[in-house]
Amino acid sequence: MLGALLRAQRLAKGLSLRELSARTGVSNAYLSGIERGLHEPSLSVLRAIASALDIPLGPMLVRAGVLDDGEQTDRPRDTETAIEGDPALSEAQRFALLSVYRSFVLGPPRSA
């Protein structure tokens, strides 16, 4: 789940694996392995990736299911419920849409 979230975030930023590799100092092959769930990255690698993607590490780990969110509510948002219940979406599409949606909702406030 972490790998899929990182891939969705990378693609949302319009970065290739090579560009992310250059920004993080982590090899292209290792990043690809993380995204495919073949490697479990260290905290320092996760920090580098989060920094390169300009997303806070804590919320990223909560969205990926790595950490529990003590402030999570039991009631999902209507948008999340609609995405999860849409029969036209594959599981991968649902995950990608939820990841991007949550990155906007849970991410830092953006100035207009």
What pLDDT digit, counting tens, does each position of 31-79 carry? 999 999 899 888 889 989 999 998 888 878 887 777 766 554 445 568 8
What's the predicted TM-score (pTM) here?
Answer: 0.60
Domain boundaries, given as residue ranges, for the chain = 2-106
| C-alpha neighbours within 13 Å on the C-beta side of residue 46 | 17
Residue whose pair of structure tokens reads 């029969």 in the numeric block: 87
CA-based nearest residue to 48, from 19, 12, 20: 20
Torsion sign across C-alpha atoms 56, 58, 59, 62: positive
Residue 77 has which token pair?
């948002």
CA-based nearest residue to 5, from 41, 28, 18, 22: 41
| Rounded Cα distance, 49 and 27, in Å | 12
**23-32, 44-53, 91-100: which is most confident:** 23-32
Cα angle: 8, vertex 36, 20; to 5 degrees: 55
| Rounded Cα distance, 3 and 9, in Å | 10
CATH tag for 2-106 (out of 1.10.260.40, 1.10.287.90, 3.40.50.620, 3.40.50.300): 1.10.260.40
